[in-house]
Amino acid sequence: MFSLKEKSIIITGAAMGLGYATAEIFAEQGAYLTLVDYNEEKLKEAEKTLSEKYSDAKFLSVVADVSDEKQVKNYIDKTVEKFSRIDGLYNNAGIEGETSLLAEYNVESFKKVIDINLMGVYYAMRHAIPIMKKQNYGRIVNVASVAGIRGVKNETPYTASKHAVAGMTKNAALEYGQDGIMTNAIAPGAILTPMVEEAFKKINPDDPKSAEKEYAKANPTLRLGDPKDVAYLVGFLLSEECSYVNGQTIAVDGGQSNIYGAV
């Protein structure tokens, strides 16, 4: 079994959804966590709840917008100041963006999705990798999506950003494997988080629950994913035991992306 005890790990987008669920599993193991989010109120709430519940874990929360390189450098520096090293980086923060046909997509909204989902991941790797190189050790997990391995209608910037994250993950693996740094990506399918609940509201504003049921029917497991399904995979990929998996984009989707014609 893998352990994250006393590992210094940065989680972006930690205030809710997949980031928060992962922080909870890691805190249970006694990890030292830097929680990053731009939602200050939710971030404070998350840190308070977790620190009251898990006394073996340590926490640092830093308010930052991951699309701003200066703010990214700040959370990296603060992590090193507090925990002396960075063992793991979980690049999870991301947005879905608006839904619209490719040719009709608002250009500013398009750029915003790219800035957060792609540049946010790049800035974090850019500033964390030199520290990991000095340690001759590091683990990076970037959050792509099933939209990083397939097309998703009406979500061009999201799909483009997630494919780019998968590509960047391969490059980091090639360039820094020799420095003891393993870089991988995950491709979640529909996992029940606030982001996905919002998507179901867009599909069927009057009855989002029925949209959720329809979606679940199409999955081989006949259910949507639970944030914990993702957290356990990320935990392994960020552990010391993950020492020969490098440059992969691993789907966590109940097998749905294997169905011909699946979304």
Per CB under 6 A, residues contacting ligand NAD are: 12-13, 15-19, 37-39, 42, 65-67, 92-95, 116, 120, 143, 145, 188, 190-191, 193-196
Work out how close the CB of 40 gets to ligand NAD at its nearest, in angstroms, rounded to a whole number: 10
Nearer to ligand NAD, 182 or 199 (CB): 199
In the complex with ligand NAD, the residue whose CB is nearer, 42 or 133, is 42
Spatial separation of the C-alpha atoms in residues 5 and 214, rounded to whole Å: 40
Closer of 65 and 241 to ligand NAD (Cβ) = 65
DSSP state for residue 8 in the 8-state scheme: E
Minimum distance from CB of 84 to ligand NAD (Å)?
24
Got the DSSP string for 147-215?
GGTS--TTBHHHHHHHHHHHHHHHHHHHHHGGGTEEEEEEEE-SB-SHHHHHHHHHH-TT-HHHHHHHH
Given the residues 158, 176, 244, 260, select the one marked as catalytic.
Answer: 158
Helix (H, G, I), strand (E, B) or coil at 130: helix
* Shortest distance (Å) from residue 178 CB to ligand NAD: 28
DSSP H helix total and E strand total for the chain: 9, 7
Least CB distance to ligand NAD at residue 137 (A): 25
Convert 50-81 to b/e letters by CB count within 10 Å (16 or more is b).
beeebeebbbbbbbbebbbeebbebbbebbee
Q: CB 120 → ligand NAD: shortest distance, Å?
A: 6
Give the residue with the Cβ less far from ligand NAD, 68 or 240.
68
CB-based burial of residue 242 (10 Å sphere; 0-12 exposed, 13-18 middle, 19+ buried)?
middle
Closer of 18 and 182 to ligand NAD (Cβ): 18
d(C-alpha 192, C-alpha 196), whole Å: 6
Contacts of 75 (CB under 8 A, 6+ apart): 10, 34, 36, 62, 64
Say whether 20 is catalytic. no
Residues with catalytic function: 158
